[in-house]
Every structure is written in C-alpha cells, then in structure tokens.
C-alpha cells in the first residue's frame, strides 16, 4: 500500500522524465499534484447541474453567506473555501498573478453576468474564513453543468480529476434527469467517494417531499444497479437553515437538516480523508503516467521510422491541415444553411400547429358557441377547462416528439456530410489517433446528437381562473346571456394563452438544441482534432530534425526513451494494482 512519501518519490521520477521530454502539460499536472499532497489539501467539491443551490449549500455548511448566489446561472470559475483566521479573498489569474480583493466585489470575478466566458482570465478564487468545517477540508464551488454557458460546464468537467470527494446536489423541485445521470456517470469514472444531497426541500409539502425522495432514491439505486446497499440521499434546505440562522443561531442547528449533513460528511469523508487523499493521489498519478507512457511510445515510433517515411507522413499531415483550413469556411457556410433550413422547418411546423389549434378554439368558442355552452353546463367550468388544457398539452407533446424524431434524422445526415467532407484525410490517421490518444474520430457523429439539457417544460396552468357555474354566487346575480358570453370569452383567452407560449417553447427548445449540438460537434471536430493533427506533426518534425542532424545518435535516444518508458511502466504497474484493489 502506498503512502504520501512513496507517491511523492514517484512524482519526482515521472516529473524528471516529463521535463526531459518537454511535456509541459503533464509536468504542470504533476507539480499541482505534488503541491496538493505536500499541503494536505483535501477537496470536497460541491457539484451538480445548474440552479441546484450549490453556492447556498456551501454558505450553510460554513455558516456565512459568503458564496454569491443569484437567480441566474452564476458561478463561472472554480472557487475554493479554505480555513483562515480572518475572512479574505485571493484571485489567481491564468497568467499566474494573484490579487487580493474585497469580498463585496467577488461577483465581478466569479459570476457569468459580470465576467462572461471568463473574460478576466481568472484561473480560480480562494476565499479564506474561520468556519470549523474548513479546518478539516477545502470546500470547492463549481460552475453548474447544463446551463446555457458551455464554458461553465467545461470548467467543471476539467476539474473532476482533481476531486477527492464530492457532494452531488439534486434539487427537490426537479426530479433526477437524464442530464443528472450523464454527469454522474462522468463523475463516477474518477470519484468513487460521493454523498448525495437533495436541496430545496422547503419548496415541497411533506407528502410531495416523500414522493420525490423515493423517486430520486429509486433512480439512483437503478443507476448503481445496487440491490444490497441502499443509496443514501440526504435531504436539506440550505436556504431555510440560513434564514433561521440569521434570526436565531440556536434554532438553526435543528433547521434544514444541515447538522445531519455535516455529521455524514465527517462519518463518510473527513474521518477517512488521509486514506482517501492517498488513494486519489495514486489514481491521479496513474492517469498522468499513462499519458506520459503514450507520448514516449509515439516519440519512439517516430524515431524508428525511416527518414523518407517520416517526411512523407509530415507532408501528408501538412496537406491535410492546409486542406482543413482552406475548405473549412466554404463548407461551413453550406452546413450552416442546412442548419438554418432545419430550424426553419421546426418554426414552420410549430407555427402551423399553433394556427390549427387557434382555428379549432375559434370554432369552438365563436362559431359553435351554443353547443360549447351546453357542454359546459353539463360538466361545469373546471372539468371543461381541464379537458381543454389536456387537449392542448397532448397536441404539443405529440408535436414535440414528432419534431425531435425528424430533426434527429436530418441533423444526423448533416453531421455525416460535415464529417465525410472533413474526414477524407482524417480516415488515414483515425485508427492511429484512437490507438495513441484514445479518441475515436469516427464516433463523433453519435456522440453529439440532440442530447443538450434545456430544462424544458410545458405551460399547463391557464392564466385566469374561472369560477364554477354551479357554486359561484356572483354568476347567479348576472343574466345567463352575460354569464355565457363572459365564460366563453375567458376560456377562449385561456386557450390562446396556453397555445402561444407552448408553441414558442417547443420552437426555441428544439432550435437551441440544434444550434448547441452543432456548436459542440464543430468545436470538438475543428479544434480538438486540428490540435491533435498539429501535435502529431510537431512530434514528427522533431523526429525528422533528430534524424537529419544526429542520425548516429538515434539509437542512443531510443535507448534513453526505452529506459524512461520502463520507469514510467513500473510506476503505472504499481498504481494500476492499487487502483484495481480500491475499485
């Protein structure tokens, strides 16, 4: 079993190899891991989809309203909460500079509104305060997954490998979704130590809360495919706790279930943190060692290759890159036109359904007003109203399902065309990239379909409540003709005010999914694949240079790399065993 000292020794060994090969990214990751072990930092990270109340939950855990909260997706950078005798804030920028700021202006650095897409180039923010929980661990606030701000999602996903343990936050007013499950799947790949928290329990009645708790626990149980051990879901209301704390600190401890959450954190995480830190550090070192081993293999293969072959491969890659750049703009214009046509189709079909429904209710309440009135008299206003709402909603649900199915097929065809046009030169090296870097270009089409979380919901409540004809005293005072005219008019208005927003929501929801899915696909295909090509080319160029200048020393270089690879392999083997045992 490893301890921190042996891990630090192995970090030094792997760092020396990375430095010799000038692999800056791996070296940076190793340095960060070394600093974390030496300082004893243990990261308990609060993660989940946006608007789950993560920042409010952190405020409840530290007993102070320090983390900024808002009604819009707010946190855009990683924020660390660490122990300090006095409250202070440090901002670290991407260039390495650090600046002390006033707590009152922290929103200017961490919020999406005041620092959109992180224009201020903030790397992370550290908040120091004297909360007792921070004496044992560092709490970390992350940008929410699934908001409209894709850069926020990227920040959180990139931070996942550095996490020691996590609070996975759900919200009581929203049942666990596919987006929650997809994010949880990604988290579980690297973080086995999770506590599940359902926040905002104050929004539900006791029967509603019981029903939601059972549903979410059921879904988590299915996700883990666990029949023996029940998933523990801790219900809290961070807002309720903070409200009571502001009024009475003595009452706050028994409010919002925050006290119970702290006890669970201690029992399951804090008491085991030294061991967890060792296990997670070993896991992180294994990942970095794997990456280094892959790059050594690539360099060795390039050096072994004949010079003529290397130059041919270099020229082929350069031609591919040139073609990729020169044809990209023209081809993207064609693809964007097809995307616009697809979005226009969604708009047209939604508008057509809206007009059909408007005509249907125009006929019902105006042209056939007498027949409709007789039906209302038989069933009463509430029952008749419910049937109308049900009819409108079911029509739109059918439309949404139909549109999504047809759009998926058309969208798939567009991506096939895009990838085929761009991939004519990539097919030659796709297998090699898969082998060396673990990225399969050929599966990009299925990776980015229309799986974009939007938090869609139908409007089902009429704008105006219409009293019962049978029980309303007010209606008895009015002539029947006036009652009839007023109710029919109000029902007609209610129907139109359900039709228009639901049509708009379907249209904007699907069109946003189309645009965002293509943006994600294009970003990955254009930037990531292009960068891979460039990296491959640079490694080949380096090998060519070595062969031309010092052909006699190639065997020596390969011999050195073999030794480096052997050292990296020994480290990998050690931590692979540890990882399997812990898994």
Highest mean pLDDT among 332-346, 358-372, 417-431: 358-372
Q: What is the mean pLDDT of residues 11-17?
A: 91
Tokens 């807002």 -> residue: 239
Query: Is the same domain home to 114 and 252?
Result: yes
Predicted confidence at residue 524, as pLDDT, reads 60
**Integer Cα distance of 356 and 362 in angstroms:** 10
Q: What is the mean pLDDT of residues 376-394?
A: 86
Element housing 256 (H / E): none
- Phi/psi for 443 (5° steps) reads -95, 5
Q: Taking Cα atoms as reference points, which of 346, 352, 357 lies closest to residue 498?
A: 357
Residue 579 reports pLDDT greater than 50: yes
Query: Is the same domain home to 418 and 522?
Result: yes
Predicted confidence at residue 497, as pLDDT, reads 85
Predicted confidence at residue 439, as pLDDT, reads 43
Query: How does pLDDT run across 307-329, given as a tens digit for each residue?
Result: 777 677 677 666 656 665 565 56
Cβ neighbours around 460 below 10 Å, total = 12
**Integer Cα distance of 388 and 498 in angstroms:** 10
Query: Is the same domain home to 205 and 284?
Result: no
Taking the CA atoms of 43, 49, 53 and 56 in sequence, report the sign of the dihedral they define: positive
Element housing 203 (H / E): none
| Residue burial 60-90, b: 16+ Cβ < 10 Å; e: rest | bbbbbebbbbeeebbbbbbbbbbbeeeeebb
Query: Is the same domain home to 12 and 55?
Result: no
Predicted confidence at residue 423, as pLDDT, reads 47
Query: How does pLDDT run across 462-508, given as a tens digit for each residue?
Result: 666 676 766 665 666 667 788 788 888 888 888 888 888 888 888 88
104 and 68 Cβ atoms separated by less than 8 Å: no
Least trusted range by pLDDT, from 84-88, 505-509, 522-526: 522-526
Query: Is the same domain home to 327 and 221?
Result: no
**Integer Cα distance of 37 and 30 in angstroms:** 11
Element housing 45 (H / E): strand 43-47
- Strand pairing category for 43-47 and 165-171: parallel
Q: Residue 497 maps to which CATH number?
A: 1.20.120
Query: How does pLDDT run across 351-375, given as a tens digit for each residue?
Result: 999 899 999 999 998 999 999 888 8
Supply the pTM of this predicted model.
0.54
Residue 425 reports pLDDT greater than 50: no
Containing domain of residue 112, as a range? 40-268
Query: Is the same domain home to 363 and 424?
Result: yes
Query: Is the same domain home to 314 and 281?
Result: no
- Strand pairing category for 165-171 and 138-141: unpaired
Residue 301 reports pLDDT greater than 60: yes
Query: Is the same domain home to 426 and 294?
Result: no
**Structure confidence at residue 73 as a pLDDT band (50, 70, 90):** very low
Residue 386 reports pLDDT greater than 70: yes
Predicted confidence at residue 90, as pLDDT, reads 93
Residue 116 reports pLDDT greater than 50: yes
More confident residue, 512 or 522: 512
DSSP-derived letter for residue 196 is E
511 and 341 Cβ atoms separated by less than 8 Å: no
Q: Residue 45 maps to which CATH number?
A: 3.40.50.300
Average confidence score pLDDT of the chain: 76
**Structure confidence at residue 536 as a pLDDT band (50, 70, 90):** low
445 and 518 Cβ atoms separated by less than 8 Å: no
Cβ neighbours around 511 below 10 Å, total = 21
Query: Is the same domain home to 214 and 248?
Result: yes
Share of the chain above pLDDT 70, in %: 71
Helix axes 273-304, 554-582, angle to 10 degrees: 150
Query: Is the same domain home to 482 and 369?
Result: yes
Least trusted range by pLDDT, from 1-5, 528-532, 563-567: 528-532
Query: Is the same domain home to 101 and 224?
Result: yes
Query: Is the same domain home to 65 and 213?
Result: yes
Query: How does pLDDT run across 237-286, given as a tens digit for each residue?
Result: 988 888 887 665 555 556 888 999 999 888 888 888 888 888 888 888 88
Structure tokens at 574: 């050690």
Report the number of distinct structural domains present in the chain: 3
Beta strands in 38-86 (DSSP E): 43-47, 78-83
Beta strands in 84-235 (DSSP E): 88-93, 98-101, 122-129, 138-141, 165-171, 194-199, 233-235
Which residues, other chains included, contact 455 with Cβ-Cβ below 8 Å and sequence gap of 6+?
146, 174
Taking the CA atoms of 254, 255, 256 and 259 in sequence, report the sign of the dihedral they define: negative
């Amino acid at each position: 079993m490893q301890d921190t000292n042996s891990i630090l020794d192995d970090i030094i060994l792997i760092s020396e190899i990375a430095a010799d090969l000038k692999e800056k990214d791996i070296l940076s990751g190793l340095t960060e891991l070394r600093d974390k072990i030496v300082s004893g930092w243990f990261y308990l990270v609060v993660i989940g989809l946006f608007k789950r109340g993560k920042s409010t939950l952190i405020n409840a855990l530290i007993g102070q309203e320090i983390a900024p909260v808002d009604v819009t997706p707010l946190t855009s950078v990683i924020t660390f909460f660490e122990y300090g005798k006095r409250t202070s804030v440090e901002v670290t920028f991407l260039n390495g500079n650090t600046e002390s700021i006033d707590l009152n202006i922290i929103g200017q650095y961490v919020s999406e509104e005041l620092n959109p897409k992180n224009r201020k180039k903030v790397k992370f923010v550290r908040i120091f305060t004297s909360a007792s929980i921070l004496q044992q661990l560092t709490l970390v606030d992350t940008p929410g997954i699934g908001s409209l701000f894709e850069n926020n999602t990227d920040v959180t996903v990139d931070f996942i490998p550095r996490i020691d343990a996590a609070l996975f936050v759900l919200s009581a007013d929203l049942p666990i979704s596919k987006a929650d499950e997809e994010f949880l799947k990604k988290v579980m790949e690297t973080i086995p130590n999770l506590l599940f928290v359902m926040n905002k329990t104050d929004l539900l009645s006791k029967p509603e809360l019981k029903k939601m708790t059972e549903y979410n626990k059921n879904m988590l149980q299915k996700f883990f495919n666990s029949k023996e051990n029940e998933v523990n879901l801790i219900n809290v209301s961070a807002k309720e706790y903070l409200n009571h704390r502001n009024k009475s600190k003595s009452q706050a401890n028994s409010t919002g279930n925050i006290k119970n959450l702290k006890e669970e954190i201690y029992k399951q995480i804090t008491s085991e943190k030294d061991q967890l830190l060792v296990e997670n550090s070993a896991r992180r070192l294994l990942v970095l060692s794997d990456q280094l081993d892959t790059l050594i293999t690539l360099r060795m293969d390039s050096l072994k290759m004949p010079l003529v072959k290397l130059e041919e491969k270099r020229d082929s890659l350069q031609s591919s890159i040139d073609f990729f750049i020169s044809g990209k703009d023209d081809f993207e214009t064609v693809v964007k036109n097809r995307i616009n046509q697809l979005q226009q189709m969604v708009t047209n079909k939604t508008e057509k359904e809206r007009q059909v429904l408007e005509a249907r209710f125009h006929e019902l309440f105006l042209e056939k007003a007498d027949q409709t009135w007789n039906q209302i008299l038989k069933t009463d206003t509430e029952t008749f109203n419910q049937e109308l709402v049900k009819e409108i909603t079911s029509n739109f649900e059918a439309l949404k399902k139909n549109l999504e199915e047809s759009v998926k097929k058309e969208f798939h065809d567009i991506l096939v065309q895009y990838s085929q046009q761009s991939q004519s030169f990539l097919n030659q090296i796709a297998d090699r990239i898969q082998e060396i870097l673990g990225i399969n270009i050929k599966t990009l089409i299925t990776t980015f379909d229309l799986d974009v979380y939007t938090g869609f919901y139908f409007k089902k409540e009429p704008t105006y409540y219409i009293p019962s004809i049978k029980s309303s005293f007010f209606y008895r005072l009015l002539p029947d003709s006036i009652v009839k005219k007023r109710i029919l008019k109000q029902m007609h208005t209610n129907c139109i005010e359900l039709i228009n927003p639901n049509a708009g929501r379907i249209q904007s929801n699907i069109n946003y999914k189309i645009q965002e899915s293509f943006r994600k696909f294009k970003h990955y295909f254009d930037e990531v694949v292009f960068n891979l090509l460039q990296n491959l080319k640079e490694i080949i160029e380096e090998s060519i240079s070595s062969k031309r200048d010092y052909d006699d020393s190639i065997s020596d270089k390969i011999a050195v790399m073999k030794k480096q690879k052997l050292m990296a392999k020994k480290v990998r083997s050690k931590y692979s065993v540890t990882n399997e045992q812990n898994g």
